Structure formats: structure tokens, C-alpha cells
Chain A
Amino acid sequence: MRPSRRMRRLTRIAFATIIGIVLAGPLIYLVAGSLMSPAQVDAATPQLIPSSWHFDDYVNGWKYVLQARTFLNSVIFVVCAVGLQWALCISGGLAITKMRFRGRTAITTMFAVSLFIPVVTTVIPVFVVTNQFGLINTYPGLIIPIAAQTGFGTLLFRQYIATLPQELFDAARIDGAGWWLLLRRLVVPLARPATAAYLAISVITAWNMYLWPLLSANAPHVEVLSEIVAAIGQGDNFGYTVTVPQQYAATVITIVPVVVAFLLVQPAFVRGLTGSGVE
């Protein structure tokens, strides 16, 4: 009995590991492709491990395909959209959880209903609104409509703030603390786990977003990385000077930061997904 159980365990570990390699395989394959020469990529027998290595593709991929400006645009977009949305959500979450005012239930319901309306069904009218403000191909036009999608975040913070002891709020209010002070000194520090969960989901979503940037920001000065990566997928050859491995290297550069971040924050990521009210 003993050895057979041990064998079964080892088989399961081996099987789980092989499946894992298969699942991560496509990404590993792209990394391999990014380290090849153009001839190696087109070899009749695909190479899983490059027969010779070419790291300079990364330098050229960064210089000619991605460019610092686009990378910076992506960072600006993610930091501003998520930062602004976070501020709106945590303050709004506090308001609808702990403050008393008319219309509170109606506003809470409005946020909840919005969760069931996917962004794809409203993206055309959102573009129309943004266009009416004259914000197409500007940073505010790229950022604000995404920051304004506060339904999920506000409810996430509402749920978390509701679990904080009421006594803390009462004590602070009796001591004469205003709501603003309460938000900064009490809610923001205590809601750190909720903030982590919120950031894990929002940052990855924003970094990977494609349809909205394509609609609202397709001029070179505001373009973000996903648009460049999409152009690679569409077979844009970036003026005939850029090789296929350089394009793959550029793609890998855009993937790595999110993959690393995601692996570091995945417990928070799960809390965010399950905290959305369904579980």
C-alpha cells in the first residue's frame, strides 16, 4: 500500500507539472522566438529552444517598436486612471456606507446595476460623450472615462468598510473629527487589504485594455502599449526595418511587468474577484 500511494503522489506531481508547462508554454515559446534570428523563427522545424541566442532584439524592439513615449503613456494611463478611480471609490464607499443622506439607497443600487452592464455595450456612447467634450486623443479623454467606471470599486470598498467596527467611527465623530479626516486617518489605512484587492484587478485590467485606447487615443502622442502590440498582431511591419524577433521582444517587454505583478499579488486578486458581491 505505502509505495503505491507514494507512486500515485509522484505521478500526480509530475502530471501537474507537465500540464503547467503546457499552459505556460505559449508564452515561453514567444520568449524563445524573441531570442532567435529572423531565419530561426521561420525555420521549417520550429525550435523550442533557440539554437543560438540574440539578446539585442530587446534593445531594438524597445527602440523601434515600443518607444519610451508609448511606454510612458501606458504608465500615465494606468497610474492616473486607477489612482483617480481609487480616490473616487474609497471616498464614495465611505459615504454610502457610513454617511446619512437622502438618495443613499438609490445611489448604491445604481452602482450595483452598473456591474451587470459590460463596458463593451456602452463603449460607443462613451466615445460619443468624450468626443462631445472634445477630449479624443488627449490624456483626459483616455483617462477620465475609465476612471469614471466606479461601480465595482465603490461597492468593493463599501463591503469592506461595512466590516470595520462602528465604534471607531462613532468615537472619531464624537471627538469632532470631520469626514475628510476620518477618510484619511481611519478608512484609508484600515482598508489597505481592500485597496490591495482593488489595485490588483484594476492595474492589470487597465494595463491590458485595448478597445477604449484604440477608440479614444490612437494618435502617436497618446498611444498606449496595447495598441502597439495589436499592430504587431495585425502584421504592421513598422516601416520594413523591424524584424519579427524584435516584434516578439517588444511584446515580451509589455507582458513581463504585469506577469510579475500578478504573481506577487494573486491572493489580493482573488479577494477582489470574490469580494464583488457574488460569493
Chain B
Amino acid sequence: MPDTQAAPITHVRPQAAVRSTDGRAAVFMLGPNVVLFTVFVGVPIVLAFALSFFAWDLNGAPTWVGLANYTAMFKDPLVGISVKNTLYFVAMGVIPTVFISLGLAMLINFQFRGVTIVRSLYLIPAAVSLAASAVIWQYIYEPKFGLLSYVFNEVGIAPPSQGFLFTPGWALPSLDVVCIWTTLPIGVLLYLAALQRIPESVIEAATLDGAGWFRRTRYVIWPGVSNMTLLVAIISLIAFTASGFDLVNILTKGQPIYGTETLIYYVYYSAVTNSQWGYAAALSVLQFVIIVGILAILAAARQFLVRRP
């Protein structure tokens, strides 16, 4: 604002005139947005908490049960399993996504003939839905004729006995691979944008000072892209939470022996299959607490990330 001194004088009249009509105009301009937002975002958030104190099968009146859903949750072995699976699935997904996408972005962050085509190859998986990715990877993971089993056999490693998706210990990482595949391009795109903002001269200066590839990456590039790292981590967190439902419901249904039972899948299962909508609401609250907790950890980690050594 260069002309702050002149501003008050020229602005008094129009703003006074504006103020008298804005309230009514704002109702028309913002009203529909706020009403729909309240009904389908605000109310559901409150409802998730409220319903968690009731037993309800979606028909008839809900029955007040106090904290019974929460005490049941603590006794339910599936809750422990699904929380553990969710945390494992998210950690094994988000962390590789962050580092691999930064590596890939650094790899293709230079100009050459055909760079647009090559970059497109990196970006394509981002547009593929999780449902379609499930079809693709089921084809690749197919136990008998699948490409990956074939590659394993050629290299001389025995593929997992029940297939990649149904052998305990293999199932969850196999699902992670699918979601990493669709999430990587978003990380690459964001890191490319961040890398282009690091001045060439800074990297050259570091090189002249004798910093090798590792030191340049650790002390120049990594701090330089730290804001983006937080964004990539948040976007991946949300992607992996969502895919905890999509991929599980399509590919494994929580099998083998609850090996891929994620919290969001258990929420869906409790509500839709078991008709325990109150219990599902209590599980949603747990899911909410976990996600907010992870976001808080990320925000704290950011302080650590941006600190230059």
C-alpha cells in the first residue's frame, strides 16, 4: 500500500455507502454457500460426536447409551488391529512418498529435448483413480500369471505363497505400493515447483565451496523445499487415509486375517454391514483424533525441518 495517507479520505464515502447495503447483499452472495456448508459439513461433524453416544440401526429412534460405544471400542480387538494397520499403512506410505518424490523431482529438474514427454510419464499415475489403480495392480499382483510373480521367479525369489495381496505381512505393503504409485506424481509436481524457486546461484555457491551431491541436498535443497515437504506430507496423509478405504474395499476386504483391516474400512463395515451407526460414529471420532494428532506432529516436525543446521 503505497498511498496510505491518501486512502482514508478517498475511501470514507464509498465505504459508508457500501456498509449500509452489504449485510443484505452478503446474505444472497454467501448465504447458499454457508447454508449448504453448515448442513453437509458443520452438522455432520457435530453429529459424529453426538451419534457416538447412541446405539442406532439407522431406522427408528436412536437409543442413548452414554459411553458404552467408547468402552466397547477399548474391548474390541479389531479396533487395536485397525489402528495399528492404519498407522503402519500411513507411515509406510507417506514417508517413502515424500523422499521418492523429492528424488524424482531432482532427477527430472533439468531441460532437455523431450522433457515434457518424459515428465508426463511421471505425472500420469496421479490422474488414475484408486479404483482403476486397484484393477491395474490386481493384474500385476495376480498370483499365478501375474507380471510380478513372473519377475520374482525369474530373479529367483519365491513369490509370497498366497499371492501379494493375501499373504500375511505382504498385504499391507502391497496396498501401500498402489497408493504410493498414484500419490508420487503430486509430490513430484510440487517439489518441481519448489526446486525451481531455489536460485541456481545458491547451489553453485555450495558446489564451489566443495559441497558434494549429498551435502548440497541435505543442507541446501532440503531446507529450501521444507515448506513443500509439509504440503506433500499433508496431501499424502489425506491420500493414504482415503485409500485405506478404497483399496481395501476393492482388493482385500480387510483380509488376510485382518491384515489390511484399516480404521476407515472398519468404520464403513460397522455402519453399512453391521448397521451399528452409533459405534461407527465413535470410530469416526477416533479416526478424527488420530488424523488431527498426525497433523499436529507434522506441524511440530515442520519446526524441526525448517531449522537450518
Q: State the A residues within 8 Å of B (CB).
A: 9, 12-13, 15-17, 19-21, 23-24, 26-27, 29-30, 33, 41-46, 88-89, 91-92, 94-96, 99-102, 107, 110-111, 114, 116-122, 124-131, 144-145, 147-151, 154, 170, 173-174, 178-180, 183, 204, 207-208, 210-211, 214-215, 226-227, 229-230, 232-234, 247-248, 251, 254-255, 258-259, 261-263, 266, 269-270, 273-274, 276, 278-279
Interface string of B207-251 (1 = CB under 8 A from A): 000000000000000000001101100110010011011100111
Query: Is residue B131 contacting chain A, with contact meaning CB distance below 8 A?
Result: yes
Pairwise interchain contact A125-B36, C-beta atoms closer than 8 A: no
Q: Please judge, given known A-B contacts A129-B43, A129-B47, whether A124 and B284 are in contact too, CB under 8 Å.
A: yes
Q: Offer 28 A-B interface pairs, CB within 8 angstroms, sorted by A.
A: A16-B108, A20-B118, A23-B104, A23-B125, A23-B184, A26-B181, A44-B145, A88-B32, A92-B30, A114-B37, A116-B295, A119-B242, A120-B241, A121-B291, A122-B284, A125-B43, A126-B44, A128-B44, A128-B277, A151-B41, A170-B11, A178-B25, A210-B131, A227-B131, A230-B131, A248-B135, A254-B132, A262-B124
Q: Is the CB of B136 within 8 A of A270?
A: no
Residues of A within 8 A of B172 (CB): none
**Structural contact, B131 and A233, CB atoms closer than 8 A:** yes
| Known interface pairs A46-B145, A230-B250, A274-B193; A99-B29 also in contact (CB < 8 Å) | yes
Check B36 against A150 for contact (C-beta < 8 Å): yes
Check B58 for interface membership: any CB of A closer than 8 A: yes
Closest residue of chain A to B45 (Cβ to Cβ) is: A122
Q: Which residues of B contact A33 (CB under 8 A)?
A: 139
Distance of B28 from chain A, by nearest CB (Å): 8
Contact A274-B231, Cβ < 8 Å, known A100-B18, A121-B288:
yes
| A233-B41 contact given A23-B184, A154-B33, A208-B129, CB 8 Å threshold | no
Set of chain A residues within 8 Å of B175, measured between Cβ atoms: none
A3-B209 Cα distance, complex, nearest whole Å: 24
The reply to whether B281 and A131 form a contact with Cβ atoms under 8 Å apart is no
From DSSP, what is the main secondary structure of chain B's interface residues? helix
Q: B: which residues have CB within 8 A of A?
A: 10-11, 14-15, 17-19, 22-23, 25-26, 28-30, 32-34, 36-37, 39-45, 47-48, 51, 58, 104, 107-108, 110, 112, 114, 118-140, 145-147, 150, 181, 184-186, 189-190, 193, 227-228, 230-231, 234-235, 238, 241-242, 244-246, 249-251, 264, 267-268, 271-272, 277, 280-281, 284, 287-288, 291-292, 295
Given that A95-B30, A229-B129, A258-B128 are known contacts, is A24 also in contact with B47, CB under 8 Å in the complex? no
Sorted nearest first, the 6 A-B pairs with minimum C-beta distance are A20-B121, A208-B129, A148-B40, A125-B44, A92-B33, A262-B127
Contacting pair B110 A12 (CB below 8 A) = yes
Q: Which of A110, A173, A230, A278 has the most CB of B within 10 A?
A: A230
Give the docked Cα–Cα distance between A121 and B51 (Å).
13
Pick from A19, A102, A147, A279: contact of B23, CB below 8 A.
A102
Residues of chain B within 8 A of A263, CB atoms compared: 120, 123-124, 127
- Contacting pair A147 B118 (CB below 8 A): no
CA distance A125 to B277 in the complex (A): 9
A192 to chain B, nearest CB (A): 19
Q: Report whether A20 and B135 are in contact in the complex, using a CB–CB cutoff of 8 Å.
A: no
Q: How far is the CA of A208 from the CA of B267 in the complex (A)?
A: 21
A124 touching B280 by the CB < 8 A rule? yes
Smallest CB separation, A168 vs chain B (Å): 13
Shortest Cβ distance from A210 into chain B, in angstroms?
Answer: 5
Residue of A nearest to B113 (CB): A13
A126-B40, A211-B268 known, 6 other contacts, Cβ within 8 Å = A26-B181, A44-B145, A125-B51, A149-B41, A266-B189, A273-B190
CA–CA, A33 and B139, complex, Å: 9
- Chain A residue contacts of B48, Cβ below 8 A: 121-122, 124-125
Q: CA–CA, A262 to B183, complex, Å?
A: 14
